[in-house]
A = this chain, B = another copy of it.
């Protein structure tokens, strides 16, 4: 373990703006303050003014680094010394691997078989030990538990964790501090760490901005949970968005319900089109998961017409040998 760093106070409730600002101060030196990009060509095509907060340029290639470092910094020396454990299809795993590397403790990442090769390689490059499980939640949890018993490390949940939610919220903090007066702020939603943190920050910093979660129709648990006010799960997740197959978390659900304005679901076909549009016009690499908010604009042009729309580009970790176009 590296020399002792200052520890973040433990959160026993959903974070508020103050908590998220404190987390931002703590993690600032470890993360990139990612740029906000625009594209005249995409604006012309979609008929609105889009601001892209580019977390594909974040360390490890996604926003997940924010939450993972935030959670790791809240652990005591005792909790930290045997290392960090998580299960992840990739991006959160990379975030935890980086957090462990920064703090000088071992990391154990349980990944489903068939995970994107470049994501597995990246975890290993950050010094993590990758343990494979079957591609379902039951096997993920069982394997993670076994690893916990064996190594006695601390488990960092990908989203159902207040420190993770606060960490992901720091992205919106940077975004809304620089880009004022957005009519809409769009983020993809899977477990709800990013969307929850984003909504908390946005409702306090910019109450007139509508916060919208976007998800594939093929994994629409949040949409169904939001409108039924009961936590639902996905039975099948036949979506190209490998980062959005998880279910909304228990800690995340009430935050989404209380702070998010709407959930929009989109078709797979539009997601692929949106991904290709961003690659071709902006020359940046984005994952299918973060093409989802762009797809939401494409499928709802009237709603967003002539509005200023913020979009969180969540990550850029793609298997370049398996592109959908």
Contact = CB atoms under 8 A, between A and B. Distances in A.
Interface string A273-292: 00010011001111000000
B280 A283 contact: no
Contact of A283 (B56, B276, B323, B325): B56
Interface in A244-298: 276, 279-280, 283-286
Contact of A320 (B284, B286, B321, B323): B323
Copies in the complex: 2
A316 interface: yes
Interface of A: 35, 56-57, 61, 118, 276, 279-280, 283-286, 316, 320-321, 323, 325
A320 B279 contact: yes
A57 B280 CA distance: 11
A283 B57 contact: yes
A57 B286 CA distance: 15
A156 to B, nearest CB: 23
Nearest to A325: B320
A30 B320 CA distance: 33
A320 B61 contact: no
Contacts of A286: 283
Nearest to A41: B125
12 contacts: A35-B35, A56-B283, A118-B280, A276-B320, A279-B320, A280-B320, A283-B284, A283-B285, A283-B286, A283-B316, A285-B285, A321-B325
Q: Max chain B CB contacts within 10 Å: which of A56, A279, A280, A286?
A: A280
Q: Max chain B CB contacts within 10 Å: which of A276, A283, A284?
A: A283
Q: Which 8 A-B pairs have the closest CB atoms?
A: A283-B316, A283-B285, A56-B283, A320-B325, A284-B284, A57-B283, A279-B285, A279-B320
